[in-house]
Each structure stands twice: as structure tokens, then as C-alpha cells.
Amino acid sequence: MMYIRELTFKSKNGKHITDVIKKVKDHQKKLKDKASEQNEKNVVFNPEEDPLVLIKGKRPILQGLKVRPNLSGKKSSGNLEAHANGFRFGSQKGEQVDITFKNIKHAFFQPCDQEMIVILHFNLHKPLLIGKKKTFDIQFYTEAGLQAEDLDNRRRGGHNDDDEYEQEEKERAQRKKLNEEFLSFTRAVEAAAGDQIEFDKPYRELAFQGAPFKSNVYLYPTVHCLVNLSETPFFVLSLDEVELAHFERVSVRNFTLSSLLISLNSMA
């Protein structure tokens, strides 16, 4: 069998050969775009391949959650329900997203101990199509802080240290309540789902600063990952996919490499 590797064409009409070359390149581009589009459709998670099995009776539910990325142009708020083989989020606008356990690569529960939001985050094997964009990460959260008050208004209203202390106590109580609600939800899901899903939790005491994208953020080790879930774009790195770790500008004043490795080994 023989193949032609290269052909050379000559033409006395330079404009004609230029037009032919342009048409060939345009056709090649169309073929590549079509192949890329087809490949993209194949990669995106297809709900028909693994449909959600609904539970009609009592099931774990978290109400009044917001979702990132937004399902539409504005922030979406709704309820997250756990079913037999996954989750369903339904917004107040009637939007709906199904996430099956098989498509969840990593699941995280991040309490609002030192954050303004309490988070359930899912990192996926196959991306979901949210709007017109693919996403490998979908997050459900509730804001933990009470509505901020203007300090001048508080002074004019006669607020004192006792009022501020009472406000702080209310915020702590709210944070505790939200953490307990989310923790109870994750435990109920794990108990019902068996070994289909397990929620990982970031270790705040081992956090360090890094810049996985453009901005500097705090990175938190978990049992299986290194994550930043509080800010977008989200960062989720599976530790079992790391082949080489390079430490740049490591300062002994911040931490020792041996203590960090010991801590990571103890979590694994």
C-alpha cells in the first residue's frame, strides 16, 4: 500500500489558487469544529445513560440553597434533595439539575467555621452542561452571616457593646445551626447510599497560600485532594493524580517540609 504524503500545485492565476487554498482551509476548519463539537457532546454527562431514581417518600433535603455556577443569568435559589442514586436540585424558577453518585468524583462538605458560607461541593467525572458551558464542579451553599448593618446607623440607634456582643452570639448560633444541618444531611446521605458516596472535609489547620490561577488564595488539603472551594474559579486537585510536587520559595518560618509530609501521610 502506498500513500501520497505531499502534493505541489502551480497556477498562472494567483488569485484562483489563493481562493482554492482558502476554501480548503475553511473546509478543514469546519471538519475540525464538527469533530470537536461531536466529541464535546460525547464527553458531557448524558442523564439518559444514568437516570436519577427518585424517592417518593421521606428523603434528606436541604432548603434555601444557592448554586454556583448560576443555572441562569441570575443567582438561583432552591432545594437539594437526596434520592436513591444521586441528588436533584430544583430552583424556585423551576430549573432542575440532577447529579448521580456515579458521576461524582469527589464530594466535599466545608463548614462555615471561618467562612461566610457553608458549602456542599461536587467535583465530577463528566461535566454537566449548565446553560451553554460545561462545568466539572457544581456547588451548593448558604450564606452564614447575618445582614450587615451600617456602623453609623448603629451608633445613631444607640447600639452599645452589649448589642454587639448579642449580635456576635446570634451569628455564632446561626453558624453552628447551619453546620449541624449540613453535617446531618451528609451523614444521612452516606448512611442511605452506603459506599456510593463519601464526603471529604478540608483541613483548615494545614491551609497555605497559593495561586492555582491568577489570584492568591488559601489551599486546603483534604484526605484525597487539595482544594479551594470558597472562591471561583474552584480548584480541586486529586492527590492520587500528582506525579511530581515542586516547592518554590519554601520558608522554614512558615512550615517545615517534614511536618507537612507527616501531616499529609497521617490523613491518607
- Neighbour-count burial for 151-161, b at 16+ CB within 10 Å, e otherwise: eeeeeeeeeee
Q: What is the pLDDT of residue 250?
A: 58
Indicate the pLDDT class of residue 76, thresholds 50, 70 and 90.
confident
Contact 70, 80 (CB under 8 A): no
In the predicted model, what is the mean pLDDT of residues 110-131? 92
* 134-150 residue pLDDT tens: 999 999 999 986 544 44
Q: Where are the domains of the chain?
A: 57-200, 202-268
C-alpha cell at 39: 466529541
Q: What is the pLDDT of residue 42?
A: 55
C-alpha cell at 241: 493524580
Query: Looking at the domain 202-268, which fold is it?
Result: PH-domain like (2.30.29)
Q: What is the pLDDT of residue 267?
A: 53
Of 267 and 14, more confident: 14
The CA distance from 262 to 179, in Å, is 29
* 152-191 residue pLDDT tens: 455 455 556 777 888 888 888 999 999 999 999 999 999 9
Residue 3 three-state SS = coil
State yes or no: pLDDT of 132 exceeds 90: no
Angle at Cα 266 formed by Cα 263 and Cα 268, nearest 5°? 110
Asked if the bond preceding 212 is cis, omega within 30° of 0, the reply is no
* 47-75 residue pLDDT tens: 788 899 999 999 999 999 999 999 887 78
Return the amino acid letter for 12: K
The CA distance from 255 to 51, in Å, is 47
DSSP code of residue 258: H
Q: What is the pLDDT of residue 115?
A: 84
What is the pLDDT of the chain when averaged over all its residues?
85
Backbone angles phi and psi of 117, in degrees to 5 = -135, 150
State yes or no: pLDDT of 100 exceeds 70: yes
Lowest-confidence region among 101-105, 109-113, 138-142, 209-213: 209-213
Backbone angles phi and psi of 68, in degrees to 5 = -130, 135
- Does domain 57-200 bear CATH number 2.30.29.150? yes
Indicate the pLDDT class of residue 151, thresholds 50, 70 and 90.
very low
Contact 135, 69 (CB under 8 A): yes
Sheet holding 104-110, edge to edge: 96-100, 86-91, 77-82, 61-68, 133-143, 117-130, 104-110, 199-200
| Of 228, 227, 220, nearest in space to 263 by CA | 220
Contact 190, 197 (CB under 8 A): yes
